[in-house]
Amino acid sequence: DGIGSQMDRVMTEEQWLQKWETGNTGFHKEQGHPLLRKYLDVLLNGRSGLRIFFPLCGKAVEMKWLADMGHDVVGVEVSEKALKEFFAEHGLPYCKEPVPEISGAKKFQCTSGNISLYCCSIYDLSSSVVGKFDGVWDRGALVAVNPCDRQRYVSLMITLMEKNSSYLLVTVSYDPSKHKGPPFYVPESEIKSLFG
């Protein structure tokens, strides 16, 4: 069946980097994602000054939007080009420094302080490096990770969440026999079994 045909599909880090290098980033939303605006109250739950995590953040404009509301935003992304474009497009000054705990990783820190973006594989992160989060905006991450890595991804995400954390997840619904992904099709039953 369609889902079965996607289960062994693998996108390499190089393929994702290539998408950024060639500007093949149809997944990037210039105006931000309407579902975040719609469900922002669910994510924030009346709280202010949250730490919010953007897995596989790309150059998501919502990072600036939430930072401007006074939240601390942390993202992770393999493409350095995407992160540099984020700061350039918003006119934000930043500094770049190595991450001692992760070989080869870089941290891009907005000089105004409340946006920190890690350039590395998400699987290199841990709560000892980035701390824990009050909210997660997973707009294109779970649907982008290789299906064989979903359990590993979700297990990591759970370790990064505070007790009363809100996790806002966007998935895509389509006939998986007609599109090979990414974004991959993740049925609701699988979401329930992954996150419990």
pLDDT tens string 41-96: 999 999 999 999 999 999 999 999 999 999 999 999 999 999 999 999 999 999 99
Per-residue pLDDT at 113: 76
Q: Any idea what the Cα angle at residue 102 is, between residues 65 and 157, rounded to 5°? A: 50
Annotated binding site for S-adenosyl-L-methionine: 16-27, 56, 77, 121-122, 139
Q: Is residue 137 part of a domain?
A: yes
What average pLDDT score do residues 3-29 get? Answer: 92
pLDDT, tens digit (0-9, with 9 covering 90-100), for 32-56: 999 999 999 999 999 999 999 999 9
d(C-alpha 138, C-alpha 104), whole Å = 25
Annotated binding site: 16-27, 56, 77, 121-122, 139
Specify the CATH number for the domain of residue 64.
Answer: 3.40.50.150
Strand partners, 169: 138
> Domain residues for 20?
13-24+34-195
Sign of the torsion formed by the C-alpha atoms of 92, 46, 53 and 113: positive
Structure tokens at 109: 């820190």
pLDDT band of 3, cuts 50, 70, 90: low
Q: Is residue 29 part of a domain?
A: no
Q: How many domains does the chain have?
A: 1
d(C-alpha 13, C-alpha 122), whole Å = 11
> For residue 67, which of 17, 30, 117 has the smallest C-alpha distance?
117
Phi and psi, residue 160, nearest 5°: -95, 0
Q: Is residue 6 part of a domain?
A: no
Per-residue pLDDT at 1: 53
Q: Is 150 helix (H, G, I), strand (E, B) or coil?
A: helix
Per-residue pLDDT at 112: 86
Mean confidence (pLDDT) of the chain:
96
Greatest Cα pair distance, the chain, in angstroms, is 50
d(C-alpha 53, C-alpha 133), whole Å = 6
pLDDT band of 99, cuts 50, 70, 90: very high
- CA 46 from chain centre, in angstroms, equals 23
Contact between 124 and 105 under an 8 Å Cβ cutoff? The reply is yes
pLDDT, tens digit (0-9, with 9 covering 90-100), for 139-181: 999 999 999 999 999 999 999 999 999 999 999 999 999 998 9
